Chain A
Amino acid sequence: MNKYPVWLNVLVVSILIAGILFALPNLYGSAPAVQLADADRNAISEGQLDNYVRSLSNDGIEPEDAYLKDGRAVIRFNSIEDQQRSGELLRSRYKGEANVALTLAPKLPPWVRAIGLNPMSLGLDLRGGIYVLLEVDMATAIENRMRSYEQDIDDRLREARIRHRVELRDGIVTVRLTSADQLEQVRQIIVNADPNLLIGDGADGRSLTMRMTEAQIKERQDFAIEQNMTTLRNRVDQLGVAEPLVQRQGVDRIVVQLPGVQDPTELEKILTATATLEFRMVDVTGDSSGSRRYPGRDQEAPQVLMREVVASGDEIVDAGFTFTPEGQPAVSITLNSAGGDRMLANTQQNLGKLMSTLFIEWREETVQRGGVTETRKVKTEEIINSATIRGVFKNKFQITGMTQLEARDLAVLLRAGALAAPVYKVDERTIGPSLGQDNIDRGFRAIQIGFIAVIFFMALYYRWFGMIANVALLSNLVFIVAVLSLLGASLTLPGIAGIVLTVGMAVDANVLIFERIREEIAAGTSPQAAINSGYEKALSSIADANITTLIAAIVLLAFGTGPIKGFAITLMIGILTSMFTAIVGTRAIVNFAFGGRKIASVPV
């Protein structure tokens, strides 16, 4: 009785070895390092990595280790001095090509890295950094879209020589006609412009209303989020942060996490400002209705621009730096079809004339008015480039007339800088590095002391069986760390609290089993039979108890944000791994130690 088959013993030992292996990377600690990411988001090659390392050794810096990880180059050093110096050298040498960030890298031996093992990552509350939750201003995004519909319909009706007035209010465009006769013709024109728009009849019998459908609004929203995220990613990369996180949350929010960044003002510059671009024709005569004079940026000449927008930043699908066949630096631009159609019509009409690229930025500003402080949005508009239209084109074209550096900058700006909808900050948390280290130290001390207390208690109370439960408890800790490392989940302070709680609760399964064994012995059952039925009869209670805790953990995971999620994840992992260690693990040891032979009493 009480013998595990060989295969089961082998399985238990294999799982334990796997757990130790996956938890292993956490033992090596970390060292200062420099991380390089390609500015164009391509993967860094072995060749490039060699170049970086060679360029450093030319200056007498010998890195400890250098390798590629997730398309980025990581170069690790012995000292912070080497790291700082290398960071500066690489930054100046590879400006525009690679974004350089100072970070900490795990000191893994090459063989551990080769099999793809990684340590747990630490959450912001443990390593310090900034967390920001941004909300995208969807009302403005939708308003912008409707304004371009308004103009589109205005153009088309003018082309069809239909007398009309258009008006945009609260996201609804109203087209008023002089008579009802042309209503059907106008309806058809709107359908041609976009068959998905919702068209309604006005109360006066000679007007039509149009608005976006729910599906269109959703699509618009998704697009605005995507676009903002791309922009944020690029801007954040340029900040030189090692492992930035830019992630969508819910319908209209974006989470940005910048580990290691300490100064929130550094972030403000890139986060609160939102920008977009518009292509507009230069009004040479200066007397068209609605045209206005705009200043130029830096050396750029100011121009009077027409009111109509040929294409705007949110219609740019792609942009890149390139050279013309003549060897001039240029920015290649790809527009979506709506923008392309308008660009085609515009270039056919305006060949040889000047077209400008207008850069528009919104910034929040605080003003004092009559003793009351209020925030308002301030809009800055600058011409960044004006160029002559040299041919008829549609959705793909090039802008020339800039230096190489300017072209490169504009390409980045166009590709990433065109924020279609403004973002607002709704939540921000900055954790200093000293607090992060304190949290780690305190968290681990709490685990240690809690763990030791439980171990003493169990050994005292259940003697040899208590010691076996302690082995299970220790392996449970190893498994939690292993699973966290394997999932790439980050450890947070509430996560540590979850581990501590698990240590206390994980012994419950063993307490249930051991108490049952004691009961069986008291009832006069033989030692071996008592062990066996103790394990068997306690099983249903253990399962019930763990499933109910699991329900609470799942609800936490589903409804919790940030800190709560970290707690829920470690709690869930802890419950699952403890079921294995407390039931199967301890049984394997008990069977090995006491099974299959005559024992006088059970040391429980």
Chain B
Amino acid sequence: MRLIKHKTTIDFLGATRRKVALAVSALVVVVSIVSLFTHERPLELGIDFTGGILLEVGYPEAADLEAIRSNLAEAGFEDAQVQRFGADNDVLVRLAPQEGIDPDELRENLRLTVAAGTAGVDLRRVEFVSPQVGKELTERGGLAMIIALLLIFIYVMVRFQWKFAAGAVAALAHDVVVTVGFFSIFRFPFDLTVVAAVLAVIGYSLNDTVVAFDRIRENFFKLRGVSAEESMNTSINEMLARTLITGATTLLVLVALLLFGGESIAPFSIALIVGIVVGTYSSIYTASATALALGVNAQDLLEPVKDPDLIDDLP
């Protein structure tokens, strides 16, 4: 079976299309950044990052959120966030870090309050994170991203050339910004697993980019007398089937994970799904276009030829 015809000749890197792609990328990146900077809270950070207390409570039947809220407010937890978590009878209660209150006592109070008046309440999960740990995790997450991008830049530079490395990293930065921006715009909860997902997106998107680069290198040598743009275009077309099929199988499993994996893994699945769609786009448009804009050509990939005469000249 074939979904993509054997020889596509889409002009991915043509001047007009490149401008359109650049405009689309720029627009999405700018919207993401604007969302991150204009929201009072740039992201709906999970308690992994903010610290605080979180309870997941299973009620025997559909929970009355208003009743839970008013119970909590009466007990002095006016600022508690109460929301459904997946099913109707599953409720998430979250409280910001409380200065100077014994967390154990707080948890006990919360537990009694949410269970008040209902029999058979199941306390499914309790998390207490101090703001100090949250701050550390945020720093480590940011550091991990930067180090991953740096290592990847080095790898691609060694394996290809700096113009390709710059293209790859531009594409990855694009993916990270857009994925994180997506979480900011749509206010999805951003927790520790999303950081893991974004790093996995970096790995995946790079995977795509490098495979395209591999083919570009091959064609630079094979298709002599053809412009870099044409040669890169041919390469992307040749890899199109592979790029789309791998993207499809990965998206298949991620959709399964999103639909069946449960609520707590959902942000992770969403981040990966968004990241893979964006990553597939960016490895086609952003990575190669950037390398091309930097003036990449076949000469860049030629290994310096060692002159055999030189050795003879040595004393």
Contact with A along B125-169 (1 / 0, CB 8 A): 111111011000100110110011001100110010000000000
Interface size class of chain A, counting residues whose CB lies under 8 Å from the partner chain: 35 or more
Contacts of A549 in B (CB 8 A): 200, 203-204, 206-207
Choose, from B16-24, B101-109, B287-295, B304-312, the stretch at the interface. B101-109
Q: From A463, A548, A555, name the one whose CB has the most chain B CB atoms within 10 angstroms.
A: A548
Q: Are A568 and B210 closer than 8 Å at their CB atoms? A: no
Contacts of B200 in A (CB 8 A): 501, 549, 552-553, 556, 567, 571
Choose, from A53-61, A213-221, A426-434, the stretch at the interface. A426-434
Interface size on B (CB < 8 Å)? 77
Q: Are A461 and B1 closer than 8 Å at their CB atoms? A: yes
Contacts of B269 in A (CB 8 A): 497
Q: Are B261 and A443 closer than 8 Å at their CB atoms? A: yes
Contacts of A451 in B (CB 8 A): 253
Contact with B along A443-467 (1 / 0, CB 8 A): 1011001110110011011110000
Known: A429-B125, A450-B252, A545-B207. A561 touches B137 (CB 8 A): yes
Determine if A366 is an interface residue (Cβ-Cβ < 8 Å): yes
Q: Are B207 and A435 closer than 8 Å at their CB atoms? A: no
Contacts of B253 in A (CB 8 A): 446, 450-451, 453-454, 500-501, 503-504
Q: How far is the CA of A559 from the CA of B149 in the complex (A)?
A: 14
Contacts of A541 in B (CB 8 A): 210-211, 214-215
Q: How far is the CA of A134 from the CA of B56 in the complex (A)?
A: 23
Nearest Cβ in chain B — how far from A502, in angstroms?
9
Determine if A298 is an interface residue (Cβ-Cβ < 8 Å): no
How many pairs of residues, A versus B, come closer than 8 Å at their CB atoms? Answer: 235
Determine if B113 is an interface residue (Cβ-Cβ < 8 Å): no
Q: How far is the CA of A545 from the CA of B215 in the complex (A)?
A: 12
Known: A446-B256, A504-B251. A366 touches B101 (CB 8 A): yes
Residue from the list A461, A493, A548, A562 in contact with B245, Cβ < 8 A:
A461
Contacts of A96 in B (CB 8 A): none
Q: Are A552 and B148 closer than 8 Å at their CB atoms? A: yes
Choose, from B26-34, B36-44, B66-74, B189-197, the stretch at the interface. B189-197
Nearest Cβ in chain A — how far from B157, in angstroms?
13
Determine if A512 is an interface residue (Cβ-Cβ < 8 Å): yes
Known: A366-B102, A429-B127, A511-B245. A450 touches B202 (CB 8 A): no
Determine if A584 is an interface residue (Cβ-Cβ < 8 Å): no
Known: A512-B242, A559-B147. A545 touches B210 (CB 8 A): yes
Known: A427-B133, A428-B127, A501-B272. A551 touches B203 (CB 8 A): yes
Contacts of A497 in B (CB 8 A): 193, 257, 261, 265, 268-269
Q: How far is the CA of A505 from the CA of B248 in the complex (A)?
A: 10
Q: Are B246 and A431 closer than 8 Å at their CB atoms? A: no
A:534-560 near B, CB below 8 Å: 540-541, 544-553, 555-556, 558-560
Residue from the list B125, B249, B265 in contact with A504, Cβ < 8 A:
B249
Residue from the list A426, A446, A540, A564 in contact with B257, Cβ < 8 A:
A446
Determine if A152 is an interface residue (Cβ-Cβ < 8 Å): no
Q: Are B256 and A449 closer than 8 Å at their CB atoms? A: yes
Nearest Cβ in chain B — how far from A462, in angstroms?
8
Q: Are A500 and B133 closer than 8 Å at their CB atoms? A: no
Nearest Cβ in chain A — how far from B7, in angstroms?
8
Q: From B105, B152, B200, B203, name the one whose CB has the most chain A CB atoms within 10 angstroms.
A: B203
Q: Are B264 and A548 closer than 8 Å at their CB atoms? A: no
Contact with A along B45-64 (1 / 0, CB 8 A): 00000000000101000000
Known: A515-B241, A551-B152, A551-B155. A560 touches B133 (CB 8 A): no
Known: A460-B1, A548-B207, A571-B200. A446 touches B260 (CB 8 A): yes
Q: Are A428 and B196 closer than 8 Å at their CB atoms? A: no
Determine if B122 is an interface residue (Cβ-Cβ < 8 Å): yes
Contacts of B137 in A (CB 8 A): 561
Q: Are B196 and A564 closer than 8 Å at their CB atoms? A: yes
Q: Are A548 and B203 closer than 8 Å at their CB atoms? A: yes
Choose, from A85-93, A110-118, A264-272, the stretch at the interface. A264-272
List 20 additional contacts besides A461-B3, A552-B199; criterion CB under 8 Å: A264-B104, A374-B100, A426-B129, A442-B261, A443-B265, A446-B253, A454-B252, A497-B261, A497-B268, A500-B254, A504-B250, A504-B252, A508-B250, A512-B242, A515-B242, A518-B6, A522-B6, A541-B214, A549-B207, A551-B151
Q: Which B residues have a C-beta under 8 Å from some C-beta of A?
A: 1, 3, 6-7, 56, 58, 100-105, 107-108, 122-130, 132-133, 137, 140-141, 143-144, 147-148, 151-152, 155-156, 159, 192-193, 195-196, 199-200, 202-204, 206-208, 210-211, 213-215, 238, 241-242, 245-246, 248-254, 256-257, 259-262, 264-265, 268-269, 272
Q: Pick the 4 closest A-B CB pairs, nearest first.
A: A552-B203, A450-B253, A504-B250, A450-B256
The 25 listed contacts between A and B (C-beta, < 8 Å) are A425-B130, A426-B130, A427-B129, A428-B103, A428-B126, A430-B126, A439-B262, A446-B259, A449-B256, A449-B259, A494-B265, A500-B253, A501-B254, A501-B257, A503-B253, A504-B251, A505-B246, A512-B242, A541-B214, A544-B214, A548-B206, A555-B199, A563-B193, A564-B192, A564-B195
